[in-house]
Amino acid sequence: MIPLSHYLILGAIIFSLGVFGALTRRNAIAILMSIELMLNAVNLNFIAFARYLPQTLLQGQVFAIFVITVAAAEAAVGLAIVLGLYRNFKTVNVDEINLMKW
Amino acid sequence: MLKLIWLVPVLPMVGVVINGIFGRWIRDRAHLLGVGTTGLSLLIALGIFFQTLGGETLDWDVYSWVAVGNFHATVGFQVDALSAVMMLVVTFVGFLIHVYSVGYMHGDPGYARFFTYMNLFMTSMLVLVLANNYLLMFLGWEGVGLCSYLLIGFWYRKQSASDAGKKAFVVNRIGDAGFLLGLFLIWRTFGSLNYAEIFPMVPDIQQVLTRPSVLGLSLVTWITILLFIGATGKSAQLPLYVWLPDAMEGPTPVSALIHAATMVTAGVYMVARSNALFSAAPFSMEVVAWVGGLTAVFAASIALVQNDIKRVVAYSTISQLGYMFLGCGVGAYASAIFHLGTHAFFKALLFLGAGSVIHALGGEQDIRKMGQLKQKLPITSRTFYWASLANAGIIPLAGFWSKDEILAAAYAGHHSFLWALGSAGAFMTAFYMFRLYYTVFEGKDNVDHHAAHHVHESPPAMAYPLMALGIGTLLVGVLFGFPPDHGLYHRFVEPVFAAEGMEAHAIGLETTLGLAAVATAVAALGIWGLARSWYKTGDSPAPARAAERFRGLYALILNKYRVDELYIAVFVDFGKWLCRLSWTVDDKGVDGTVNGTSRLTVVLSQVSALFDFRGVDGLVNAIADVIQGGSQAFKRIQTGVIQNYLLAMAMGIFVIVSLYFFF
């Protein structure tokens, strides 16, 4: 059986990729996708812990489903915002959309 | 019938009200009411007078005027021989002068106003003489003073007239203050102002009255001195006589009525009315007698050299008033009032005659520009002649009887010096009257060419009063005054003046006759001995030579002893100095304090403002500046680039997690 640490390391790698993508990508859609990566890395952790820890009553799995649900909603709202941004600025590059400053 | 007395003063008041309110529409018909009401007053007064001749008297409180605490004053009338005589003189002479005014004031723009004032004067004067208490008398006293002021300044556009009115008012005010203080003292002493209550009380509280008080003078002396100060103001005695000569600025009927016949005699009436008080104060009697005697000579001497026809008569009035006070002072009240009555006739006549001359000459008052008017003004000159004789005291005219009685009383009262003074005054009187008469009506014709054409005898309205007064002047003395001290008049007024005054008359018939002879001789000497030879022809060099020899004295008298200048220097300039002093105190002291306070406030405000700006606002601004500065510094992190925030968040989490791990 594959030990828990492998899952955790994989989750950490995926999360780090997500953080890196969110911090470095200029495209708003890519950032959303990176956030999705981070969420899924978390989901992976939930599932792994639910499998390996004793006396759990499906809490990990339920939480993962919750996260997926919220992620779907978030993606919908996020893509709608991106569409709105595009209509206003004709671009989806976040470094060009910097009105909200001093 | 006697109760009709209230109508006597009230009737002229009707004229005042109607002429006063509707005068501007009534205009040149104002005399109908003015003369009419006065005439009705005269008729009623005559009726009452004849009733009082039968010995009837009246003391009637019409209504309660003031009732405050224990102070009561009523409007009440007293009719006795004294007030009846006064009332008759006032209404009779007043009526004639009203008639005269119709002619004299004809065409004056202030015609209705003139009659309003004249009627108001009649009312006030009648209230004065008919009152049964001092307060009501004081009301009338002030009323006549007011009318005097109004009528002297009647031609108020003329500066000198309005000045003279003011002068009269102010000088009278000094006397009135004395009168008022006297009233206060009477009320304090007697607890009443009613004649009927005061006079009978005098013997009862003799001890209180005669006990020495302030300055060693007794209470009754103080009362009478204060009353007499009032009398000197109103009756133009030394030292308050200065207003009367200037009062000649008023229309001539005013001079005749107010400043010769009636108002100025109010002081004499008041002293005579208060005879019970004065007789209890020998010292005051001395003062009255001396003031009267000195005034008589003093004013007569000024009249010797004056060149204004009205001023000569005015000084003569002052002088004659002096005789009246001399009479009062030696206890001959009845004689003083008698002189008052006869004087009212001949002095009013003199003034009206003077007015007639002035009228004829178109306003000229300087006797050096008159002369030879006898033929042109027959009525005026004749009546003026009679009045001059009466004033000089020639038997049997009005002035002789009364003046002689006064001088006899002075002699009998062991005031020989005052008698001599009075006789000297009589000589001067005779001289100046006939200097005036000869210069104006005879002598040389110095009338201006312009005035000379329309010299004319006065209209009937003026001539008839002259004749009426002239006949009065001829007859009134012998009718009422003969034989001396026991005539009709004396028997009539005797009850009013208690026994005090009479005892002095215990001199023999020979002495009386001798004194009368001396007086007549003195007067005759003045007229025919001196005035006639100096002025009859008008070209005698004697007057000029006399003036040249006594140059200094002449100048002094011509300038009225420089009393006006003295008063101006002492009182007026002092007053001005005082005003300037208080102004300086006000300007520098009071205003200075106020301004200093304001300046101090400004400085304090500036300090306060400084604190506010630098301190309070500074603190607030400093906080704001700090915040602004901080914001300026920190706003850089608000880049607007979403990934910067994300990075910050990530690093924050990293730091927190790191801390969690390591500690």
Average pLDDT over residues B287-315: 91
Which has the minimum average pLDDT: B125-134, B551-560, B604-613, B652-661?
A: B551-560
Q: What is the distance between the alpha carbons of residues B301 and B286, in angstroms, rounded to a whole number? A: 23
Burial of A25 (C-beta count, 10 Å sphere; 0-12/13-18/19+): middle
Smallest CA–CA separation between A73 and chain B, in Å?
21
Residues 623-652 (B) with a CB less than 8 A from some CB of A: 635-636, 638-643, 646-647, 650
Average pLDDT over residues B103-122: 90
Out of B635, B638, B642, the one facing A94 most closely (by C-beta) is: B642
Predicted local confidence at residue A102, as pLDDT = 62
Predicted local confidence at residue B168, as pLDDT = 92
Closest residue of chain A to B650, computed from CA coordinates: A19
Instruction: Render pLDDT for B386-436 as a digit per residue (tens, 0 to 9).
Output: 999 888 888 778 888 888 888 888 888 878 888 888 888 988 999 899 889
Predicted local confidence at residue B501, as pLDDT = 46
Show the tokens assigned to B271.
């002293």
For residue B524, what pLDDT band results from cuts at 50, 70 and 90? confident
Q: What is the distance between the alpha carbons of residues B354 and B317, in angstroms, rounded to a whole number? A: 14
Of B290, B293, B240, B247, residue with least CA distance to B267: B240
For residue B81, what pLDDT band results from cuts at 50, 70 and 90? confident
Higher pLDDT, B514 or B186: B186
Predicted local confidence at residue B507, as pLDDT = 63
Residue B69 phi/psi, 5° resolution? 55, -130
Residue B524 phi/psi, 5° resolution? -60, -40
Residue B464 phi/psi, 5° resolution? -60, -45
Out of B635, B639, B646, the one facing A22 most closely (by C-beta) is: B646
Q: What is the distance between the alpha carbons of residues B548 and B407, in angstroms, rounded to a whole number? A: 33
Q: For the stretch B229-267, what's the b/e string if a residue is b when 16 or more beta carbons lie within 10 angstroms of its beta carbon? A: bbbbbbbbbbebbbbbbbbbbbbbbbbbbbbbbbbbbbb
Q: State whether A94 and B641 contact (CB < 8 Å).
A: yes
Cβ-Cβ contacts under 8 Å, B641 against chain A: 94-95, 98, 101
**What is the DSSP-derived secondary structure letter of residue A71?**
H
Angle, CA of A14, A19 and A22, to the nearest 5°:
120
Residues 25-84 (A) with a CB less than 8 A from some CB of B: 31
Q: What is the distance between the alpha carbons of residues B102 and B532, in angstroms, rounded to a whole number? A: 35
Are A48 and A4 within 8 A, CB to CB? Answer: yes
Q: State whether B650 and A23 contact (CB < 8 Å).
A: yes
Average pLDDT over residues B224-250: 90
Predicted local confidence at residue B502, as pLDDT = 47
ipTM over 0.90: no
Which has the minimum average pLDDT: A82-86, B29-33, B222-226?
A: B29-33
Cβ neighbours for B333, distance < 8 A, ≥ 6 positions apart: B271, B272, B275, B327, B497, B501
Q: State whether B641 and A22 contact (CB < 8 Å).
A: no
Average pLDDT over residues B68-89: 89
Of B353, B366, B427, residue with least CA distance to B96: B353
Cβ-Cβ contacts under 8 Å, B650 against chain A: 19, 23
Is the whole model's pTM more than 0.90, yes or no? no
Instruction: Render pLDDT for B422-478 as a digit per residue (tens, 0 to 9).
Output: 888 988 999 899 889 988 888 788 777 777 777 878 888 888 888 998 888 888 888
Does the pLDDT of residue A54 top 90, yes or no? no
Instruction: Render pLDDT for B191-233 as a digit per residue (tens, 0 to 9).
Output: 888 988 888 888 888 887 788 887 878 888 999 999 999 999 9
Smallest CA–CA separation between B612 and chain A, in Å?
34
For residue B503, what pLDDT band results from cuts at 50, 70 and 90? very low
Which has the minimum average pLDDT: A91-95, B173-177, B251-255, B529-533?
A: B529-533
- The answer to whether A102 faces chain B, any CB pair under 8 Å, is yes
Instruction: Render pLDDT for B32-55 as a digit per residue (tens, 0 to 9).
Output: 888 999 999 999 999 999 888 887
Residue-averaged pLDDT of chain B: 87
Angle, CA of B541, B542 and B546, to the nearest 5°:
120
Q: For the stretch B192-225, what's the b/e string if a residue is b when 16 or more beta carbons lie within 10 angstroms of its beta carbon? A: bbbbeebbebbeeeeeebeeeeeeeebbbbbbbb
Does the pLDDT of residue B506 top 70, yes or no? no
Burial of B439 (C-beta count, 10 Å sphere; 0-12/13-18/19+): buried
Chain A to chain B Cβ contacts (< 8 Å): 30
For residue B485, what pLDDT band results from cuts at 50, 70 and 90? low
Smallest CA–CA separation between A72 and chain B, in Å?
21
**What is the DSSP-derived secondary structure letter of residue B487?**
S
Cβ neighbours around B604 below 10 Å, total: 10
For residue B325, what pLDDT band results from cuts at 50, 70 and 90? very high
Instruction: Render pLDDT for B353-377 as a digit per residue (tens, 0 to 9).
Output: 998 888 888 888 888 888 888 888 8
Tell which phi-psi region holds residue B638, choosing left (phi > 0), alpha (psi between -120 and 50) or beta: beta
Q: State whether B647 and A31 contact (CB < 8 Å).
A: no
Give the rounded percent of residues in chain B with a pLDDT score beyond 90: 34
Q: State whether A23 and B646 contact (CB < 8 Å).
A: yes
Q: What is the distance between the alpha carbons of residues B494 and B421, in angstroms, rounded to a whole number? A: 27
For residue B335, what pLDDT band results from cuts at 50, 70 and 90? confident
